[in-house]
Amino acid sequence: MIDIVLPRKKAANNKQNRRDEATKPHMQPYEGLPIDVSLQQALERIKGELGESADLIIRELAIGEANPIPAAVIYIQGLIDDLRMNDHILAPLQLAVLTPPSLHADQTVEELKKELIHVGNIENIAYWKEAYQSLLIGSVLLFVEGLGQVIAAGVIGGPKRDVTEPSTNLVIRGPREGFTESIRTNTSLIRRKIRSPKLWLEQLTLGEITQTPIGIMYIQGLADESIVQEVRTRLKAISIDGVLESGYIEELISDQKYTPFPTIHHNERPDVIAAGLLEGRVAILVDGTPFVLLVPAVLNVFFQAAEDYYQRYDIASFLRMLRFVSFLIALTLPSIYVAIIGYHQEMIPTPLLLKLAAQREGVPLPAFVEAFLMEVVFEVLREAVVRMPSAVGNTISIVGGLVIGQSVVEAGFVSPAVVIIVSLTAISSFVSPAYNLAIAARLLRFLLLIAAASLGFFGVALIVLFLILHLSSLKSFGIPYLKPFAPFFWQDLKDTFMRVPLWRMHERPQVLGHRNPVRESTDPDESQGRNKSR
């Protein structure tokens, strides 16, 4: 029977998916192949398929005393929890007394599941494809002679990083836990924040070779169903060899491919993701990375830090505005300097102008070249420090800060003003809570610099107009990127430049346009009144 199924399947594949076959050399030959009835055949096959890999453990045994049935336990060393397997799978199997030993396959399976395997997560598998998948996720497979099925018991184990404080998105006040590389840990961290049955998790596998588990998490009833559907569609459309980080997914499912601005939010903190879910967003979890994606993400989201909601609203609002200002500084300060020095000296008050002129005396380079070079040097330093071991990193910061910063000025190659401008820009760019937005500013800074050098403020204005147009054209899962500002929503402005007190945020942001606008109210009477009045 096997011999009949296999060629037919292959022939069909050849006809229909010739293109697929060409692009996928990794076409699995076991597609749709049922599990062998004979134990020996099955073992031979699995050994052959895995190339007798050293970490593939096959433990043959016999179940029952009177009339022992040959069986084999198969697992991959390191993917499973050895202790649990010994105690709950191997020991009961070996000690089992099957009375009477029923030879009918289905009954045996039921018997084994009911009595002998003391593990919660069990499934029957009839095909090799699923068997391989579950073996490689970390299941223990039990093959029994004459069954034609496999019992997979999930005892996922092996090395796993503990929940620790995330290294990005640090807070002074707020929960200290961060996501880990294990998707199951991550979903549990979110579930511990939102104990609602309406928190739904859909799982799928992406990556032709890596078979990475991907989770889609949302709160049913809050998340816009059309957005959830869009997430599903886009994820399912992905065809890629491997998904090693959520960045792969991010790049493949964003609306616009050619933009420096991120249209998908990512975060390492369960509380941020939970807050996003409560606003009706959709989280995408990828196994193997602590960075969870959150869609849709409008520009405003990238200025919100977790801590904004844990601190008093007044200081939070102040910090929020500070971030917007810092972003603008990081984006435009060098270009404004170049424009003023090159074209609009009249803007500088006379005493300051004299100082600047005195500094620039003897500097051989034009302001634009000065600023451009210093920006490049700074970017080089920054990149160097990121990759270096921390011990060397300190040396680089000394070399960069002291040697270059100071001596370049003393040597008279650049004016001190430029060093000040570049360092201010650098510090401002670190203020942004979202690293990926700060990178956008980093790139666009150079564009603005060139515009300022060639057309002064007119050039800066043109590039700013270009950016406004570009930002207006962006969308994140169908939501305009500038949503609370354009299209303008008065209601939603309360969580943009300002963070109004929580008791004033009765309503969920309309940015996502969901059908369930009222968030909560501290005063029940008031909320009822609101309901009536609507």
Angle value at C-alpha 272, between 271 and 276, nearest 5 degrees: 115
Distance CA 303, CA 306 (A): 10
Q: Which is nearer to other proteins, 124 or 196 (CB)?
A: 196
In whole angstroms, the minimum distance from the beta carbon of 217 to other proteins comes to 17
Question: Which one of residues 265, 323, 360, 483 is an interface residue with other proteins (CB under 8 A)?
Answer: 483
Among 303, 343, 372, 378, binds other proteins (CB under 8 A): 343
Q: Is 334 in the site for other proteins (CB under 8 A)?
A: no
Q: Say whether residue 525 binds other proteins (CB under 8 A).
A: no
CA pair distance 317, 308, nearest whole angstrom:
8
C-beta closer to other proteins: residue 159 or 349: 349
Choose between 19 and 532: whose C-beta lies nearer to other proteins.
532
Residue 122 Cβ, how far from other proteins at the closest point, in Å? 33
357 is an interface residue for other proteins by CB under 8 A: no
Helix (H, G, I), strand (E, B) or coil at 523: coil
Site for other proteins in 60-119 (CB under 8 A): none
| Residue 273 CB neighbours (<10 A) | 28
Among 114, 364, 515, 525, binds other proteins (CB under 8 A): 515
Q: Which residue type does 141 have? A: L
Answer for which of 488, 502, 523, 529 binds other proteins (CB under 8 A) is 488
Residues of span 150-209 touching other proteins by CB under 8 A = 195-196, 198
Size of the site for other proteins (CB under 8 A): 53
Min CB(477)–other proteins separation in Å: 10
63 exposure class (CB count in 10 Å sphere: 0-12, 13-18, 19+): buried
Q: Decide whether 210 or 527 has the Cβ nearer to other proteins.
A: 527
In the DSSP assignment, the letter for residue 494 is G
CA distance 369 to 371: 6
Residue linked to tokens 């109004």: 500
Neighbours of 167 (CB within 10 A): 9
- Residue 247: CB atoms within 10 A of its CB come to 16
314 binds other proteins (CB under 8 A): no
Contact between 346 and other proteins per CB under 8 A = yes
Q: 144 vs 228, which CB is nearer to other proteins?
A: 228
Nearer to other proteins, 15 or 515 (CB): 515
Q: What whole-number distance in Å separates Cα of residue 476 and Cα of residue 262?
A: 9
Q: Does 226 contact other proteins by CB under 8 A?
A: yes
Instruction: Candidates 397, 400, 491, 501: give the one binding other proteins (CB under 8 A).
Output: 491
Pick 288 or 517: Cβ nearer other proteins: 517
In the 8-state DSSP scheme, what is residue 281? -
CA distances from 78 to 60, 85, 137, 411 (A): 19, 12, 11, 59
- Nearer to other proteins among residue 215 and residue 480 (C-beta): 480
Cβ of residue 456: shortest distance to other proteins, in angstroms? 6
CB of 105 to other proteins, least distance (A): 46
Burial 407-444 (b: 16+ CB within 10 A, else e): ebbeeebbbbbbbebbebbbebbebbbbebbbebbbeb
Report the C-alpha gap between 451 and 388 in whole angstroms: 34
Question: How far, CA to CA in Å, does 507 sit from each of 493, 501, 528?
Answer: 12, 12, 13
C-alpha–C-alpha distance, residues 280 and 224, integer Å: 7
Among 97, 325, 347, 398, binds other proteins (CB under 8 A): 347
User: In degrees, to the nearest 5, what angle opens at C-alpha 419 toward C-alphas 331 and 259?
Assistant: 20
Using the rule CB under 8 A, is 259 a contact of other proteins?
no
218 near other proteins (CB under 8 A): no
CB of 508 to other proteins, least distance (A): 9
**For other proteins, which is the closer residue by CB, 232 or 382?**
232
Which is closer to other proteins, CB of 208 or CB of 230? 230
482 binds other proteins (CB under 8 A): yes
Q: What is the 3-state secondary structure (H, E, C) of 294-356?
A: EECCCHHHHHCCHHHHCCCHHHHHHHHHHHHHHHHHHHHHHHHHHHHHHCCHHHCCHHHHHHH
* Residues lying near other proteins in the complex (CB under 8 A): 195-196, 198, 221-222, 224-226, 343-344, 346-347, 349, 351, 455-462, 464-466, 468-473, 478, 480, 482-483, 485-491, 510, 513, 515-520, 527, 531, 534
